[in-house]
Amino acid sequence: MFNQALAGSVPIQGTAVAARWDGLWDFLLGLSAFFFVLVVGAMIYFIIAYRHRPEKKTTYLTGSHLLEAVWIAVPTLLLMIIFGWGYSIYHSMTQAPADAYEVRVIGKQWLWTFQYDNGRTTVNEVFVPLNRPVKFVMTSEDVLHGFYIPNFRIKQDVVPGMYSSIWFQATVPGKHQVFCTEYCGTSHSGMLAKVIVLDDAQWKAWNLNRPIGNVPEVKYSGVEEVSAQSPVASAQGSLAEQGKAVYEKKGCVACHSVDGTTKVGPTHKGLFGSKVELADGRTVVADENYIRNHIENPQSSTVKGFNAVMPTFKGLISETEMNALIAYIKSLK
């Protein structure tokens, strides 16, 4: 309701989550307006009604338990509603469905790189399908970056040395602005990428490396201008295939198998998503962060039943290679 009143200054709703955030925002704004009027109104009324008059003497007040109970219960209830509401949207925003289409995102001074399962890499433009869940698995090559798509109301820190993720399901086709919301550093504000949401036909064409035709520019206010289509990047085998090459080049094959047999180290077949028992008794899920951490800091944890002889590959594997490597290990089902 307030958003409509402010149309033009609030971005369009490009996802269902955007509409939910806006609902919460409306509620907070409405609540603030209500209490502002209530508190300031009461204050003005009291100033006038109880102003100093010589003939009127204030009676002795000892307090009111009822009043106290009300001003504890009502704000508590309202805060719990705000918490529950916000948490529920946050939860649905961070927990991606299992079938989400994955894109790996790398932030770097001062651009964004995107890697796809089919092996393509694009810079400052990320191509995604319309009305399908899309998950971004993100990391940084240097400093903290902040990945933000205002039209989708999603935002996530991108941190060097680990993976963070965010997901969305775009409902408005066209090009949407991406901002880097990190403040310190000269050119984060210049990291202006576009999310390009393609309809079914365009998505098919993009995956077949055919021209995708024109894509409209979706401005915050929803005004659309048709812009020239983006160049199609060339692929060099799927991301997993690129990862296989890294796996062989870096010598992982010397100690690991991909067919289930145990060598010096455990096999990588079926590793991704499985539960790993560690020598110190902990059990961890082998997700992107676990695998990455084990490659960069093998001494930080040791798989039960194995010797801690794996060398560190820190600084020897670039972020694009790491994404490919993990995509390969993930493909070893």
- Per CB under 5 A, does 188 bind Cu ion? yes
Residue 252 contact, options Cu ion, ligand HEC, none, Cβ 5-8 Å cut-off depending on partner type: ligand HEC
Residue 145 contact, options ligand HEC, Cu ion, none, Cβ 5-8 Å cut-off depending on partner type: Cu ion
Place of tokens 């997901």: 167
Residue 303 contact, options ligand HEC, Cu ion, none, Cβ 5-8 Å cut-off depending on partner type: ligand HEC
Residue 126 contact, options ligand HEC, Cu ion, none, Cβ 5-8 Å cut-off depending on partner type: none
Residue 182 contact, options ligand HEC, Cu ion, none, Cβ 5-8 Å cut-off depending on partner type: Cu ion
Q: Which is nearer to Cu ion, 150 or 243 (CB)?
A: 150
Check the CA dihedral 109-111-116-120 and report its sign.
negative
Residue 172 contact, options ligand HEC, Cu ion, none, Cβ 5-8 Å cut-off depending on partner type: none
Q: Which is nearer to ligand HEC, 159 or 276 (CB)?
A: 276
Write each residue from 141 to 160 as x if it is in contact with Cu ion (CB under 5 A), else as -, in one continuous string.
----x---------------
- Per CB under 5 A, does 292 bind Cu ion? no
Within positions 286 to 305, which residues make up the interface with ligand HEC, using CB under 6 A?
A: 286, 291, 294-295, 298, 302-303
Q: Which is nearer to ligand HEC, 30 or 251 (CB)?
A: 251
Work out how close the CB of 107 gets to ligand HEC at its nearest, in angstroms, rounded to a whole number. 23
Nearest Cα residue to 167 out of 11, 328, 17, 6: 17
274, amino acid identity: S
Report the alpha-carbon distance of residue 193 to residue 112 in Å, rounded.
7
154-158/145-149 β-pairing: antiparallel
Work out how close the CB of 250 gets to ligand HEC at its nearest, in angstroms, rounded to a whole number. 4
Work out how close the CB of 36 gets to ligand HEC at its nearest, in angstroms, rounded to a whole number. 55
Report the alpha-carbon distance of residue 153 to residue 134 in Å, rounded.
14
Q: Which of 18, 180, 197, 326 binds Cu ion (CB under 5 A)?
A: 180
Work out how close the CB of 180 gets to Cu ion at its nearest, in angstroms, rounded to a whole number. 3
Write each residue from 232 to 261 as x if it is in contact with ligand HEC (CB under 6 A), else as -, in one continuous string.
------------------xxx-xxx-----
Within positions 310 to 329, which residues make up the interface with ligand HEC, using CB under 6 A?
A: 310-311, 313, 325
Cα–Cα distances in angstroms (integers) from residue 161 to residues 178, 287, 290, 291, 321, in the given order: 22, 14, 11, 12, 14
Decide: 236 and 194 in contact? Cβ < 8 Å: no
Report the alpha-carbon distance of residue 80 to residue 228 in Å, rounded.
48
Beta strands in the chain (DSSP E): 101-108, 111-116, 121-123, 125-129, 133-140, 145-149, 154-158, 164-169, 174-180, 193-198, 215-218, 224-227, 275-277, 283-285
Decide: 121 and 233 in contact? Cβ < 8 Å: yes
Q: Which is nearer to ligand HEC, 136 or 313 (CB)?
A: 313
User: How many other C-beta atoms are found inside a 10 Å radius of the C-beta of residue 280?
Assistant: 8
Which residues lie below 8 Å from residue 279, measured CB to CB, with a gap of 6+?
301, 302, 303, 304, 305, 306, 308
Residues interacting with ligand HEC, by CB under 6 A? 250-252, 254-256, 264-266, 271, 276, 286, 291, 294-295, 298, 302-303, 306-311, 313, 325
Residues interacting with Cu ion, by CB under 5 A? 145, 180, 182, 188, 191
